[in-house]
Amino acid sequence: MWKPIERVINSVRLDNAEASAIYEIGVDDIQSNTDDKSVDWGDKLPDMVIPSIKNLRLCVEKTPIVNGIIEDLVIKSISGWVVDGTNDEAIAYIEEELRRLDMMNILHETARNNIIDGAMYYNKVVQDGKLYLRELAFDGDNYKIKEFYDDLTGSEVIGYKQIVKKNKNTNKGWQTKEFRDCTEEQEEVEYNFLPEEVLATHFFTRHGKHKGMVENVLDEAYMLNLLERMMPQVTFKQTNTMILKKDNSQEGFLHIAKRAIIKAVNALTNYHKKGVIYMPDGLTVEMVGDTNLPKIQSYIEKYEKTIFMGLSTPPSVFDGSSSNRSTAVVQLDSGKSGRVLFQQFLQNKLFNFAQIIINWLLELKGLEKDCVWINFNPMVDDDGDNTTQNKQQIKTENGTISTSKPGDGLNINNINNGEGRFAEVSS
């Protein structure tokens, strides 16, 4: 029978555990720090933007700084990889098949969609002995895909169900139809997939659910876009808002008709587009406020900095000044930088993703699994050919190991084993 461990101090028994205690692990034990004025974060500071996939994608498309950071991260992470392995016949076969599948674009889309959406789904299709990957449809608001898990453990995926919109009209005879007669009438259709028919990637998970990185900066990107759109209006208003004053001191001697005042107001409207404006006696024109513009740029820079931090990218990467460029090189080349470590993480996820596809291709050809892989850190011989036999590695100008090309500024040698292949990292 379980018994608590006891200590006796001054005849007072101290137990290190309570056998009958019940703790609700879903609630933090911080109630002693709250009072009737304490608030819930979500009630007082709710999300400004609903984090739907539609909004996440619009955030990237409409915010150049977010799109630029993601593209820079993805392109640098996938550039320069080669096909490597222990079987020359299998290597040649896989190189040909990956070109046919456009593997570079698949890696790009998979990395980008995981960063933005938090997920990517491919349907495995085999036709005439050839493998094809079909990206599962996106309906515009969210993935209408449901994952089903087994009843026993609740952790093993047993299938997927998807709803897609399809055109009810047939495309037969499209060549003889008029352009205006080629229309769509959509209907929703359900499809079921077994686990082995779908390649699902969830690179980032939080609290057991897949989440992309863009959600971290969604509200900040929204505020940044608002400020940038406000700049022309604020500039115009601050420098073009005027007031027309009537001199009441001469009310008994000078009469100004209402129509003369209206005429003066119309004359002042869009005054910067006109030449000379005449004002009758008794009317004066003054500026409202001053011509000093609000410091919107400082707020913009604040949100930009927050976006850089949320996407694990040093601002110096996109700064043109020589001092900041030097800082960027250090931040990219250093094995302790968050940016380079994140790229290492992303490449490991892509390696495991690509290995599944490669093993499918090897299986179709009747070849041994895992005898071929993609290598993000290729070795080169004296003639410039990629090889894992010669241990002369590509180096940057400052002598650090590069992922792909000289000067690319990424060091992932510390997660490769002696053969130049990635160490096994769980996806």
**Domain boundaries, given as residue ranges, for the chain:** 6-44, 53-64+102-218, 220-296
Read off the pLDDT band of 266 (50, 70, 90): confident
Mean pLDDT of the chain: 76
Helix (H, G, I), strand (E, B) or coil at 267: helix
Q: What is the pLDDT of residue 396?
A: 33
Per cent of the chain over pLDDT 70 is 65
Q: Which residues, 6+ apart, have CB-to-CB distance to 209 below 8 Å?
A: none
Q: How many residues belong to the chain?
A: 427
Q: What is the model's pLDDT at position 234?
A: 75
Q: What percent of the chain has pLDDT over 90?
A: 36
**pLDDT interval class at 249 (50, 70, 90):** low
For range 279-292, the mean pLDDT: 67
Residue of 130 and 6 predicted with greater confidence: 130
Cα separation, 348 vs 427, in Å, equals 8
Q: Is residue 400 pLDDT above 70, yes or no?
A: no
What pLDDT sits at residue 304?
93
For residue 150, count CB atoms less than 10 angstroms from its CB and return exposed for 0-12, middle for 13-18, buried for 19 or more: exposed
- Band (103; pLDDT cuts 50, 70, 90): very high
* pLDDT score, position 391: 37
State pLDDT tens for residues 192-235.
Answer: 999 999 999 999 988 878 889 999 999 999 999 999 988 877 77
- Could you give the CA distance from residue 124 to residue 197 in angstroms, rounded to a whole number? 5
- At 389, the pLDDT band (50, 70, 90 cuts) reads very low
Beta strands in 114-184 (DSSP E): 120-127, 130-135, 145-149, 157-167
- Single-letter amino acid code for the residue at 165: K
Q: Which sign, positive or negative, has the C-alpha torsion 220, 223, 229, 233?
A: negative
Query: Which two structure tokens, joined as six digits, stand for 236?
Result: 């115009």
User: Which residue carries 């990629």 as its tokens?
Assistant: 386
Query: Does residue 107 have a pLDDT over 80?
Result: yes
Could you give the CA distance from residue 288 to residue 244 in angstroms, rounded to a whole number?
10
Query: pLDDT digits over 7-41, tens only?
Result: 444 444 445 555 666 555 555 555 567 788 888 88
pLDDT at position 241: 67
* Residue 393: DSSP 8-state: B
Instruction: Give me the amino acid identity at 406.
Output: P
Q: For 364, phi and psi rounded to 5 degrees?
A: -65, -30
**pLDDT tens digits, residue range 27-85?**
555 556 778 888 888 899 999 999 988 899 999 999 999 999 999 999 999 988 999 99
Q: Residue 334 — pLDDT band, cuts 50, 70, 90?
A: low
Q: 44 vs 334, which has greater pLDDT?
A: 44
**Rounded alpha-carbon distances, angstroms, from residue 3 to 77, 101, 248:** 55, 63, 95
Q: Is the pLDDT at 3 greater than 80, yes or no?
A: no
Over residues 133-147, mean pLDDT:
73
Cβ-contact 168, 185 below 8 angstroms: yes
What is the per-residue pLDDT across 199-211, written as a single tens digit (0 to 9) for each? 999 999 888 788 8
Residue 362's pLDDT band (boundaries 50, 70, 90)? very high
Q: Is the pLDDT of residue 423 over 70?
A: no
CA distance 139 to 59: 17
Tell me how far apart the alpha carbons of residues 66 and 308 are, in angstroms, rounded to a whole number. 8
Q: Which residues pair with 107 in a beta bridge?
A: none
